[in-house]
Amino acid sequence: MLDKQIAFSRLDTAFARFLSQRSVLIDDQQRAFEGLAKLVSYHQSQGHNCIRINNEHKVLALASGLATLANQPNTPSPLVVEQDRLYLHRYWHYENRLAIKIQAMTHTRQPPQQLDDALDRYFTPSEEVDWQREAAKIAITQSFSIITGGPGTGKTTTVVKILALLQELADRPLHIALAAPTGKAAMRLQESIGANKTALPCSDAIRQLIPETVTTLHRLLGAKPPSPYFRHDADNPLAHDLIVVDEASMVDLALMSKLLDALKVGARLILLGDQDQLASVESGAVLTDLTAALPLHTLELKKSHRFGGIIKEFSVAVNQQQPEIAWQCLHTEDEIVSLLSSDLISYIAEQQLAYLSLVKNGANFTDIYRVFNRFQVLCSNHQGKKGVTDINYRVEQKLFAQKHIQLSGQWYAGRPVMITQNNAALHLYNGDIGLCLPDKDQNNKLMVFFQDASGQIKKQLPSRLPVCETVFAMTIHKSQGSEFEDVLLVLPESINPVLTKELLYTGITRAKKTIKLAASKAVFVATVTQKIERVTGLIDKFL
């Protein structure tokens, strides 16, 4: 039953042995059950909510005394069998709870009498279908709604108008929260909300009721590290009447379930995201599943207002798994989309010179931060040749050899870092970017400067930072919620399970002006033809 190609972790093995030793099975059946438990543990760690099982496996799991049927929820057990799926109990609970909560929100609200007039004021009447207007109509008449679309389709522009409309049509001012999975995504949403508010065709009073502050989901829910629990839950719900979550494709099953649990009765929830992007790092493909399960509550924005030309053609070809068309996009004369022809490390080092020049000349942090964020290297893998760790090390050595940085220790002026471990006390979270710079207020002592979602600048001693790493290059996963003018995508020299069309599409759509690709055609084609497939039961729960 076990796939000999699977590299089980020590945790998978220990967990399976722990369960099998406590089962009522013996000999061959006990060993078979241990193998089944090992598969469940492994596939959950790979992002699946559950595994598919046949009738023989179902009988074996139930005979162990450690699994119960899903229709017997009050019987505690570490495993749950539901139809042809086997879950770890916790993930079955998350999935089931999420479905129940969303189903309770899928009733249609009575549309206000003046809704069409109000929509005409915010969305210019047109003979063509205005997808943004249709999205607003769904969001206003439903308690739960999803607005999807690729880059530049106006998700944020639409939601700002929805917030104004809901405030206008409400009997009393609504208490609204804006959230995103990461600090970087929260910062982008906050900038966009602020930029779009001024153009709204509404009174200043309504405009003032639209919040501009965006928080991370963990801060909104009140994270209680190192536990997996939050301050806000079913017993202590959030006070908000409406919550908007941007970059919802990044939200995993557990976090989405806990968010729904924390909504008060009668609250609205609007999810924004691109369903074609990468699924969450942790278990589930929640946004993709919900858009498939709830078409009447989902509206896809189809017209791109700023993302076009060859970059869009490239992303569409990748997303539709057309590798030859996508490869041809890399050979156009304008080089907006192109293959990297020069040496990888020399090219990356050259792109850092403007940034390091500002550091050397003592420019202000805002200018340094802006120039650093103009260009980013995005890798498919963290480890291995052409992975993040490898490239960051080699770029540092190149810049040191060229005397653009001084490598006298781990910390040096100009070192960019990414936080990889949450620290609520310092308000620093996984994915936050900081720059190590001399602090003029402290006799040029090295400090690490960060800019939060509100634009506020904060600084910390390098020794006080949580776990972090150099970030001349980052993984495509970590880039979600970010945008850069110029992007270099780096794929490894051989195909691996991480490489998928969703990963490549996500990397491409981080770029605003240019994309270069460092990859062989064979690896590129294999990447485009490989697709993420996650095993879940969420869609089935809405049938």
Shared domain for 107 and 240, answered yes or no, is yes
In a domain, 216, yes or no: yes
In a domain, 57, yes or no: yes
Strand order in the sheet with 51-52: 51-52, 85-88, 79-82, 67-69
pLDDT value, residue 109: 80
In a domain, 107, yes or no: yes
Q: Which domain holds residue 490?
A: 310-529
Q: Which parts of the chain have pLDDT scores under 50? A: none
Shared domain for 277 and 323, answered yes or no, is no
In terms of Cα–Cα distance, which of 285, 470, 448, 467 is closest to 382?
470
In a domain, 345, yes or no: yes
Shared domain for 27 and 121, answered yes or no, is no
**Which of 291, 306, 321 represents a domain boundary (last residue)?**
306
H or E, element range at 376: strand 375-379
Shared domain for 408 and 422, answered yes or no, is yes
Q: Residue 345 region, left (φ>0) first, then alpha (ψ -120 to 50), else beta? A: alpha
Under 8 Å between Cβ of 380 and 475: yes
Shared domain for 147 and 280, answered yes or no, is yes
pLDDT value, residue 248: 95
Which residues contact residue 225 at a Cβ distance below 8 angstroms, ignoring those fewer than 6 apart?
A: 422, 424
pLDDT value, residue 226: 79
Query: Has this prediction a pTM greater than 0.95?
Result: no
**Which of 83, 114, 144 represents a domain boundary (last residue)?**
83
In a domain, 538, yes or no: no
**Tally of CA atoms within 13 A in the half-sphere of 400 that contains its CB:** 14
List the end-to-end C-alpha distance of the chain, in Å, as a whole number: 30
How far, in Å, are 16, 85, 93, 396, 463 from residue 98 at the CA level? 27, 17, 8, 45, 41
Binding residues: 149-156
Shared domain for 332 and 402, answered yes or no, is yes
- Give the number of domains in the chain: 3
pLDDT value, residue 80: 96
In a domain, 540, yes or no: no
The letter for the amino acid at 172 is: R
**SS3 assignment, position 156:** helix
pLDDT value, residue 58: 96
In a domain, 130, yes or no: yes
CA–CA distance, 84 with 50 (Å, rounded to integer): 10
Strand order in the sheet with 214-216: 214-216, 176-180, 242-245, 268-273, 144-149, 298-301
Shared domain for 118 and 141, answered yes or no, is yes
Binding residues for ATP: 149-156
Shared domain for 314 and 191, answered yes or no, is no
In terms of Cα–Cα distance, which of 55, 61, 97, 96 is closest to 77?
61
In a domain, 543, yes or no: no
DSSP state of 108: B
Shared domain for 322 and 238, answered yes or no, is no
Dump pLDDT digits (tens) for 115-172.
Answer: 989 999 999 888 788 999 999 999 999 999 999 998 888 899 999 999 999 999 999 9
CATH number of the domain within which 412 lies = 3.40.50.300
CA–CA distance, 416 with 392 (Å, rounded to integer): 10
Shared domain for 378 and 262, answered yes or no, is no
Dump pLDDT digits (tens) for 189-215.
Answer: 888 898 889 889 999 999 999 998 999
Shared domain for 480 and 388, answered yes or no, is yes
**Which of 269, 287, 306 represents a domain boundary (last residue)?**
306
Neighbours of 134 (CB within 10 A): 17
pLDDT value, residue 113: 81
CA–CA distance, 104 with 486 (Å, rounded to integer): 44
Shared domain for 525 and 446, answered yes or no, is yes
Beta strand spans in 113-241 (E): 144-149, 176-180, 214-216
pLDDT value, residue 3: 55
DSSP state of 404: S
